């Protein structure tokens, strides 16, 4: 089976990572690659690491160019996906790396994104309880945000097993590629190098409702989330430290996670006492995690590392395509990182 795919937003970071993974996928043929203002230029100008595609010319992002493919990946700014997706045929598998179709609650969408809610698609995090089945055969899939991937997979098992209170804290450090490649003063090397900065503090970051949605579903009751993102001088990677009040012991907590992720190809609970690093998951579709119980503070602490561009976006998108099309879920994806 050969699947013909198109990538919209191919000059960006998420689009580039999609193409890197899809070049190694055994069942995929790469069709149209599109952009916005950079349409008309060679892909190799923007993605010099994708040598086999370097001569490809970026096309305009239009329904005509994207139509005629089996799968269309959208790696576009928020708002743009909804506009394009509405003009693609129902039979085309559309996998959106943006946020447009992630949230269920229209009020939460409007509060955090300030525009009308476009709708809700099956959510592309198969490792959450009950989330894999709706992705099988799906024709529209919303890929999760990078911070929600780390935080949700870190805390969902404890909430589903009822071993923590429904009030969680997440502090997550991210590399700068999480912000995309469009120029911003806060992303200049001179601002970022040698410095860490918190942003979106006090419940204002748009990933807060997405994390809350996932954890509330896992717990089966409302969960409050305090989320603080931190920008770090790294190109890629997220390290999330997540905690919640617990009366469980360390071995009890560990048993919950061992059971939850025993059969998951991309979520790895590390051996006791070994903590994840962003370096170990670079370029890999793995999320590595570790659990500990701070008995004095009566808190469960879960540390998770993920590559924001791989399992945090493009790898999850490819995993979802595999599920949608009935291909092996791991096709084209690796758990092997690039180190040092
Ligand atoms: N970076 C990350 O870690 C993650 C990103 N995502 C999501 O993936 C999507 C892409 O993000 P990212 O790759 O980081 O962003 P980038 O800014 O790196 O890339 C954006 C892409 O969209 C294109 N584009 C911009 N405006 C338009 C337009 N009006 N019409 C058509 N194409 C346009 C750009 O083309 P051009 O070069 O011509 O401007 C570029 O190819 C976003 O929705 C983001 O939220 C999700 C999870 C993690
Ligand atoms: C470091 C950084 O800036 N990260 C981005 C999150 C990127 C992401 O997950 O993408 P979505 O926009 O698709 O949700 C941010 O905080 O806005």
CATH of the domain at 59: 3.40.50.720
Going by pLDDT thresholds of 50, 70 and 90, the confidence category of residue 288 is very high
CATH at residue 237: 3.30.360.10
Q: Average pLDDT of 308-330?
A: 98
Establish if 67 belongs to a structural domain.
yes
* Ligand 1 first shell, C-beta below 6 A: 9-15, 35-38, 61, 75-78, 80, 97-98, 145-146, 177-178, 180-182, 308-309, 312-313
Give me the residue label for tokens 């945000």. 145
Q: Which helix (H) or strand (E) is 106 found in, with range? A: helix 106-113
Q: Please report whether residue 335 resides in a domain.
A: no
Q: Where are any strands of DSSP class E within the chain?
A: 3-8, 28-35, 59-60, 71-74, 93-96, 140-142, 164-174, 197-198, 224-231, 238-246, 267-269, 287-294, 299-306
**Do 137 and 153 reside in the same domain of the chain?**
no
Taking only the tens place, the pLDDT of each residue in 205-214 is 999 999 999 9
Which pLDDT belongs to residue 146?
A: 98
Q: Are residues 185 and 114 in the same domain?
A: no
Q: What is the pLDDT of residue 220?
A: 98
Same structural domain, 195 and 266: yes
Whether ligand 2 lies within 6 angstroms of the CB of 209 is answered as no
Is residue 134 located within the same domain as residue 195?
A: no
> 1 pLDDT exceeds 90?
no
190 and 68 in one domain? no
pLDDT value at residue 29: 98
Share of the chain above pLDDT 70, in %: 100
Residue 200 Cα: closest atom of ligand 2:
16
Looking at residue 54, its pLDDT comes to 96
Whether residues 43 and 114 fall in one domain: yes
Residues 288 and 311: their CA atoms lie apart, in Å, by 11
Residue 307 C-alpha to ligand 2 middle, in angstroms?
A: 12
In a domain, residue 337? The reply is: no
8 DSSP 8-state letter: E
Residue 331 domain flag: no
Q: Looking at residue 287, what is its pLDDT?
A: 98
Residue 154 has pLDDT above 90, yes or no: yes
231-270: pLDDT as tens digits: 999 999 999 999 999 999 999 999 999 999 999 999 999 9
| Ligand 1 atom, smallest distance to 60 CA | 31
What confidence tens digit (pLDDT) does each residue in 55-111 have?
A: 999 999 999 999 999 999 999 999 899 899 999 999 999 999 999 999 999 999 999
Pocket test for ligand 2, best of 75, 144, 146, 312 (most atoms within 8 A of CB): 146
Provide the number of structural domains found in the chain: 2
Contact present, 33 and 58 (Cβ < 8 Å): yes
- How far CA 176 is from CA of 56, 89, 163, 222, in Å, comes to 27, 35, 34, 32
Smallest-distance ligand from the CA of 45 = 1
Indicate if ligand 2 lies below 6 Å from the C-beta of 237: no
273 and 181 assigned to the same domain: yes
- At a CB cut-off of 8 Å and minimum separation 6, what does 225 contact? 151, 168, 169, 170, 208, 211, 212, 215
Q: Kindly provide the ipTM of the predicted complex, given to two decimals.
A: 0.98
CA angle 133, 137, 139 (to 5 degrees): 115
Specify if 332 maps to a domain. Answer: no
Check residue 336 and give its pLDDT: 97
Note the pLDDT of residue 128: 98
| Same domain (yes/no): 114, 157 | no
Q: Active-site residue 146, yes or no? A: yes
Question: 76: Cβ below 6 Å to ligand 2?
Answer: no
Say if residue 238 is in the same domain as residue 261: yes
Q: Is the CB of 229 under 6 A from ligand 2?
A: yes
Q: Which ligand places an atom closest to the C-alpha of 47?
A: 1
Percentage of the chain modeled with pLDDT above 90: 98
> What is residue 310's predicted lDDT score, i.e. its pLDDT?
98
Q: Is residue 229 part of a domain?
A: yes
Establish if 333 belongs to a structural domain: no
The verdict on 139 and 188 lying in the same domain is: no
Ligand 1 pocket: which of 9, 40, 142 to mutate (most atoms <8 Å of CB)?
9
Specify the residue with its C-alpha closest to ligand 2, atom 10. Answer: 145
DSSP category for residue 120 = -
The confidence score (pLDDT) of residue 229 equals: 98
Q: Indicate if 96 and 65 belong to the same structural domain.
A: yes
The residue whose CA is least distant from atom 24 of ligand 1 is: 36
171 in the same domain as 109 = no
Check whether 136 has a pLDDT greater than 90.
yes
Out of 96, 174, 211, give the residue to mutate to test ligand 2, the one with the largest number of ligand atoms within 8 Å of its CB. 174
**Does residue 81 fall inside a structural domain?**
yes
- The ligand with the least distance to the CA atom of 306 is 1
Q: What's the CA-to-centroid distance between 192 and ligand 2, angstroms?
A: 16
178 Cβ inside 6 Å of ligand 2? yes
pLDDT of residue 91: 93
What is the span of the domain harbouring residue 253? 147-308
Residue 109: both structure tokens together? 């969408």
Q: What is the mean pLDDT of residues 311-338?
A: 98
């Amino acid at each position: 089976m050969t699947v013909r795919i198109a990538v919209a937003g191919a000059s960006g970071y998420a689009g580039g990572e999609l193409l890197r993974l899809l070049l190694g996928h055994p069942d995929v043929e790469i069709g149209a690659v599109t952009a916005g203002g950079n349409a008309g230029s060679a892909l190799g100008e923007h993605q010099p690491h994708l040598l086999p595609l370097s001569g490809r010319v970026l096309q305009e992002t239009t329904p005509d160019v994207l139509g005629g493919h089996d799968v269309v990946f959208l790696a576009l700014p928020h708002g743009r996906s909804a506009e394009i997706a509405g003009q693609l045929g129902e039979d085309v598998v559309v996998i959106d790396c943006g946020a447009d179709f992630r949230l269920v609650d229209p009020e939460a969408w409007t509060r955090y994104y300030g525009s009308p809610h476009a709708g809700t698609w099956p959510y592309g995090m198969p490792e959450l309880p009950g989330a894999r089945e709706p992705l099988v055969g799906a024709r529209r899939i919303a890929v999760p945000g990078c911070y929600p991937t780390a935080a949700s997979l870190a805390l969902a098992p404890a909430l589903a097993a009822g071993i923590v209170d429904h009030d969680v804290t997440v502090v997550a450090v991210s590399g700068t590629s999480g912000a995309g490649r469009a120029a911003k003063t806060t992303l200049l090397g001179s601002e970022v190098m040698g410095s860490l900065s918190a942003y979106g503090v006090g419940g204002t970051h748009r990933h807060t409702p997405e994390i809350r949605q996932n954890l509330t579903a896992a717990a089966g009751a409302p969960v409050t989330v305090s989320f603080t993102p931190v920008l770090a001088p790294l190109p890629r990677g997220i390290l999330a430290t997540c905690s919640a009040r617990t009366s469980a012991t360390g071995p009890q907590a560990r048993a919950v996670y061992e059971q939850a992720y025993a059969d998951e190809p991309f979520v790895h609970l590390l051996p006791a006492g070994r903590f994840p690093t962003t370096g170990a998951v670079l370029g890999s579709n793995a999320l590595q995690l570790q659990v500990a119980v701070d008995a004095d503070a009566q808190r469960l602490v879960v540390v998770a590392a993920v590559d924001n561009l791989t399992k945090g976006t493009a790898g999850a998108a490819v995993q979802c395509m595999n599920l949608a099309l009935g291909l092996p879920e791991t096709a084209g994806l690796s758990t092997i990182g690039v180190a040092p």
